[in-house]
Amino acid sequence: MTSTVHRTCPLCEAVCGLTLTLDEGGHVTSVRGDRDDPFSKGFICPKGASLGRLDEDPDRLRRPVVREGEQWREVGWDEAFAAVREGLGRVTDRGSVAVYLGNPNAHTMAGALYAGPLIRALGTRNVFSASTADQMPKHVSSGLMFGSPMAVPVPDLDRTDHLLMLGANPLESNGSLCTAPDFPGRLKALRGRGGRLVVVDPRRTRTAALADEHVFIRPGTDAYLLFGMVHTLFAEDLVTLGREVNGLDEVREAAKHFPPEAVARRTGVPAAVIERLARELAAARTAAVYARIGTCTAEFGTLAQWLVDVLNALTGNLDRPGGAMFPKPATESGGRRRPYATGRWRSRVRGLPEANGELPVATLADEIETPGEGQIRFLLTVAGNPVLSAPHGARLDAAFERLDFMVSVDPYLNETTRHANVILPPPRVLQSGHYDFALLGFAVRNYARYSPPLLPMDDRPSESQILARLAMIASGMEGGDLDAFVIDETLRKAVQTPGSGVEGRDPAELRAALDGRDGGERRLDLMLRLGPYGEWSGKGDLSLRTLLDHPHGLDLGPLEPRLDELLRTASGLVELAPPQLLEDVERLRAKLEEEAPEMVLIGRRHLRSNNSWMHNVGPLVGGSNTCTLQINPADVARLGLSGEAVVRSAKGQLTVPLEPTDTIMPGVVSLPHGWGHAGSAQRVAAAHAGVSVNDLTDESAVDAPSGNAVFNGVPVTISPTGVITAH
Ligand SMILES: Nc1nc2c(c(=O)[nH]1)N[C@H]1C(S)=C(S)[C@@H](COP(=O)(O)OP(=O)(O)OC[C@H]3O[C@@H](n4cnc5c(=O)[nH]c(N)nc54)[C@H](O)[C@@H]3O)O[C@H]1N2
Ligand SMILES: Nc1nc2c(c(=O)[nH]1)N[C@H]1C(S)=C(S)[C@@H](COP(=O)(O)OP(=O)(O)OC[C@H]3O[C@@H](n4cnc5c(=O)[nH]c(N)nc54)[C@H](O)[C@@H]3O)O[C@H]1N2
Ligand code: SF4
Ligand SMILES: [Mo]
């Protein structure tokens, strides 16, 4: 007997609905796109199609392992948790404990529901995550402009007439901070209805090839280009604000330093093109500017993210249909009114500012290596592989050796977890329930879908139970019920909040009404009921039950203007010119005339890859998904290269196979990240090892306001193999 089941794909931000066929042993025999999902409508990519292979990868850990010297020993769960308890018990100062949360935390219920309590239980400010190697500039920009770091506008993809996209390649990545299943189809539909797509990228990507226009840009210079456009809007009197804002004059003044003819040399974009891009944006009936990883992981990442929304605001496109809009996710909670600030504390060694309660991963190695009070001695990683994903990962690789104790929650023994004393593996993907708490907040349509676990649990704890138990160990309350505690807290606040929909009601009666087979489901039910469509909000009837009754997902309608209810600034207005960012504009100005390095390195993503951890699935590796250095043929000829070349940066050197292509600008080379699996316990990955680009990237370079890592625009030199050059 086979069975057909449906669930959301947990592998990227596109949240596609999948239809899986399972045989009686619970093995996946086929994966298709779920045609009845109102959001993804049957779309699937090669990764989603490999979910079964990934789920049953024989190299996944099935039981916890404890390291004894170089040897790993499988142990039972109680023994594994006892080892953690013992390791943590030796910590005398919680200031020496650190946590690193990796990317899949954004895709698991465990990450969404238990990482926060776990951090609080550990009682440390040493919180690091993949966010400071990714999108922190966007959070800081939104925090300063709108008062809320999670108020991230997304392009209204299905209605816009004009999309200006910078540093994103959704035909390979399937989109990021813009949840849109079948992003490729949505872009084609945009063009099909007469809309215009312009892509700015140092490479002519597959997305650029699909666009009406592709503009090459020198890596790391988007803030200059965007400022040139802002300058044009003011100079040509094209500003049409749709709403009252603070700081218009300050932005106009700041832009005076960046006329198109002044930024043309630095960006490599001719002044006439910059002016035209601005005019087209202003003239479009509706338009949105959208910028992603290529512009975030750059020296002026936060300024670029800010200028994106300045352009959206100056052209009247902020918070209007067809423009850049704010989704209304079903589990949104009101949040408190307090002014957003970064730098509430600073990192011990380099004095880098905290942002969203996190310190930059670019300084994790400093904090482990540098002696003194607060030196990190105990590390917990959850779903992360910073040895391959953090800037100058090779240094972290060595630093992890010096820790007193390390615990990793991860299904794989990999480049990072090999340093752990204890690895706690989550169960199979299909054994976990799935709800996209984070990603649905960035969706181009309001939508909700819950996937209950498809397979029964065996003797293994769920990942939620693993994190909850770690939290209870850390707080000395083992045996306690974390979910009950969180539910009671939430209800206590809700019944006291004027106008909350449950004001004045009895928390015990509400608690008794909650559905769910476990604490995680009950917490989801609570959030759905209290959320903006919820049964207890007074505005709808949504609950866990509704979602269980809609196994293909529930469409909650197109995005609607709602910035006024989201704004959390002290002024109650959009802050167009936050002082902290104007300060960083001085840094930008100072570098305008700087000579650019002769060669710079950028990254890239491949469709069948996902950061560092999907290289162990046969059908996903090989072919176009290999670790090669893209380089323009003119540079190949100029430097006398063939076959392989040596790439050197301030931090390291690598020998890599060349992939000459005129799709990349002269003076720019590109290497994908997440490779470098030589000697890995993952057998397929080890056979396709590649090298880690993050042996070249530089942890000393960060975007000043957010502390975000700089992966794009890294100065490098390239030389033929076998030739010794002075560096
Ligand atoms: N040079 C360069 N570096 C980059 C980037 C770049 O563009 N260029 N991109 C950056 C970006 S955007 C990101 S998000 C980071 C990612 O940085 P990380 O999150 O540190 O790295 P990943 O490779 O995503 O590692 C994910 C880990 O989670 C494990 N895992 C997978 N599924 C689960 C699960 O369900 N539960 C648990 N507990 N573990 C799981 C995997 O085995 C793997 O060890 O990398 C960054 N690094
Ligand atoms: N297949 C696949 N999908 C993924 C991932 C994956 O590894 N593989 N990772 C997931 C994650 S964690 C994330 S964060 C998202 C990221 O999603 P995207 O942001 O779409 O990521 P990329 O495909 O790396 O596209 C970034 C683009 O920026 C360009 N670029 C580099 N430097 C610059 C610059 O200075 N300026 C400009 N304008 N462009 C520049 C690069 O050439 C590249 O085409 O993808 C997610 N989806
Ligand atoms: S696009 Fe993303 S969510 Fe959709 S099937 Fe592929 S990996 Fe899964
Ligand atoms: Mo990411």
The answer on 488 and 464 residing in a single domain is: no
Q: Which of 11, 183, 449 best tests ligand 3's pocket when mutated (most atoms within 8 Å of CB)? A: 11
Q: How remote is the CA of residue 605 from the centroid of ligand 2, in Å?
A: 6
pLDDT by residue (tens digit) across 678-694?
Answer: 999 999 999 999 999 99
The answer on 204 and 285 residing in a single domain is: yes
pLDDT by residue (tens digit) across 231-287?
Answer: 999 999 999 998 999 999 999 999 999 999 999 999 999 999 999 999 999 999 999
Beta bridge partners of 654: 647
The answer on 225 and 116 residing in a single domain is: no
User: For residues 139 and 131, is the Cβ–Cβ distance under 8 A?
Assistant: yes
Q: How remote is the CA of residue 227 from the centroid of ligand 2, in Å?
A: 22
From atom 23 of ligand 1, which residue's Cα is the shortest distance away?
Answer: 612
Domain assignment present for residue 98? The answer is: yes
The answer on 299 and 177 residing in a single domain is: yes
The answer on 197 and 267 residing in a single domain is: yes
Greater pLDDT, 1 or 487: 487
CB atoms within 10 A of CB 402: 13
Could you give the 3-state DSSP secondary structure of residue 196? strand
- Which ligand sits closest to the CA of 45? 3
d(CA 393, CA 378): 18
Q: Which pTM does this prediction carry?
A: 0.98
Residue 522 Cβ < 6 Å to ligand 2: no
Domain assignment present for residue 554? The answer is: no
Domain assignment present for residue 555? The answer is: no
Average pLDDT, the chain: 96
Give me the DSSP letters along 630-674.
EE-HHHHHHTT-BSEEEEE-SS-EEEEEEEE-TTB-TTEEE--SS
Q: How remote is the CA of residue 496 from the centroid of ligand 1, in Å?
A: 40
Q: How remote is the CA of residue 657 from the centroid of ligand 2, in Å?
A: 21
Could you tell me the two tokens for 58?
A: 């024989």
- Which ligand sits closest to the CA of 449? 3
Q: Which of 169, 177, 388 best tests ligand 2's pocket when mutated (most atoms within 8 Å of CB)? A: 169
- Which ligand sits closest to the CA of 389? 1
Q: Which range has the worst mean pLDDT, 16-20, 436-440, 620-624, 700-704?
A: 620-624
User: For residues 76 and 459, is the Cβ–Cβ distance under 8 A?
Assistant: no
d(CA 107, CA 111): 7
The answer on 269 and 324 residing in a single domain is: yes
The answer on 224 and 142 residing in a single domain is: yes
Pick from 409, 386, 404: nearest CA to 396: 386
Gyration radius (Cα) of the chain, Å:
25
The answer on 43 and 88 residing in a single domain is: no
Domain span including residue 567 = 136-329+563-588
- Which ligand sits closest to the CA of 386? 1
Domain assignment present for residue 510? The answer is: yes
Q: How remote is the CA of residue 11 from the centroid of ligand 3, in Å?
A: 6
CATH number of the domain encompassing residue 227 = 3.40.228.10
| DSSP strand pairing (245-246 vs 288-291) | unpaired
Domain count, the chain: 5
Q: How remote is the CA of residue 130 from the centroid of ligand 4, in Å?
A: 7
Domain assignment present for residue 150? The answer is: yes
Domain assignment present for residue 349? The answer is: no
Could you tell me the two tokens for 499?
A: 């106008």
d(CA 317, CA 611): 33
Residue 722 has pLDDT above 80, yes or no: no
Contacts of 465 (CB under 8 A, 6+ apart): none
The answer on 51 and 65 residing in a single domain is: no
Residue 168 Cβ < 6 Å to ligand 2: yes
Domain assignment present for residue 443? The answer is: no
Burial label for 350, CB within 10 Å (0-12, 13-18, 19+), is middle
How far is CA 133 from its chain centroid? 8
Residue 602 Cβ < 6 Å to ligand 2: yes
The answer on 237 and 207 residing in a single domain is: yes
pLDDT by residue (tens digit) across 146-175?
Answer: 999 999 999 999 999 999 999 999 999 999
The answer on 684 and 614 residing in a single domain is: yes
The answer on 291 and 147 residing in a single domain is: yes
Domain assignment present for residue 362? The answer is: yes
CATH number of the domain encompassing residue 425 = 3.40.50.740
Query: Any idea which residue has 């593996």 for tokens?
Result: 425
What's the 3-state SS for 79-141?
A: HHHHHHHHHHHCCCCHHHEEEEECHHHHHCHHHHHHHHHHHHHHCCCCEEEHHHHCCHHHHHH
